[in-house]
Amino acid sequence: MTALTQPRFLSRVQSRVPSRFLPVIATFVVFVLTFGAGAVRYEGFASGQVIANLFIDNAFLIVLAVGMTFVILTGGIDLSVGAVVALSTMIAAATLEAGWPAWLAVLAVLASGSTLGLGMGLMIHKLRVQPFIATLAGMFLARGLCFVISIDSISIKDPAFRTIATETVMLPGKVAITYSVLIALAVVAVAAYVLHLTRFGRTVYAVGGSESSARLMGLATGRVTVGVYVISGFCSALAGLLFSFYMLSGYGLHAVGMELDAIAAVVVGGTLLAGGMGYVGGSVVGVLVLGTVQTIISFEGTLSSWWTRIVIGVLLLAFIALQRLILYRQRDL
């Protein structure tokens, strides 16, 4: 397809489908094609349990991507989420080792992540610090606090915690999922409701489209700016709990680089980096695309895990290019 025919092709597609849906549809098509290629190449790839495993192995990343979606929709970024995941595993493991009941350890984790998100949000709103710098500081703070708690890995041996981590829910067809998947799907449902059916969610989109215009309309832009970072901090802490269920340990070097995976999933899922356009459902599909790539590499057996990064890089470039084409087309209309 030549550069001349690309806008014409995009124009024909946009005449039938609203432009805001195009990136999400493209993500879903990529997921279907990728999963279909795996199903054709590998026996047993298309089984129900393999699909369930995509959710089991990426439940924490789904929750992390939900929080990141809120932030990116406002035109911001949160580099601290991976470090907050690690800090959450350390807080959970250390408090349980100290004899705290599981419910109190969970509350401590969620409160810590939300408080850190609140601090970064206030820095961005009140002090006008760039989100990149504020969340970079949060990343260093959270990662450093991990090693204040302990420089070693802490195993989680609490019976209640391990029961939640290992128990499964059986679905039709002898497909098993964990409680982490149910929690992640519940977070997605709540986030979709908040973004599309509440005043807060509509303001999130308005701030991402144009913060100055949203402020002139009398919208609570400052409250939303702070709020999305609190949501991101909460989701990061919850993702840390799910990662604790997955690893059954706390360690300061857990989730190194996971913030980049979350950003990649959100962008591949169709959320505009400049803000104002995107859907939580698209971010979930973005996570499934990344998970499918990892699963294919695992089935292949002979490829290095670094091929996952290469494929993700190619997908990111492709979706950013698609976003630019859509924006150029909207300006021409």
In the chain the first and final C-alpha atoms are separated, in Å, by 22
**Which pLDDT score, from 0 to 100, does residue 78 have?**
96
**Which pLDDT score, from 0 to 100, does residue 10 have?**
46
Q: What is the pTM of this model?
A: 0.90
Q: What is the mean pLDDT of each run of 10 residues along the chain (333 residues)?
A: 48 60 85 90 87 94 97 95 96 94 95 97 94 96 96 92 90 91 97 95 92 87 95 97 94 92 92 88 94 87 73 82 70 56
Q: Which amino acid is at 100?
A: W
**Which pLDDT score, from 0 to 100, does residue 315 have?**
81
Q: Which of 40, 29, 41 is nearest to 303 (CA)?
A: 41
**Which pLDDT score, from 0 to 100, does residue 15 have?**
55
Report d(CA 266, CA 255) in Å as an integer.
Answer: 17
Whether domain 16-332 has CATH 1.10.10: the reply is no
**Which pLDDT score, from 0 to 100, does residue 8 have?**
56
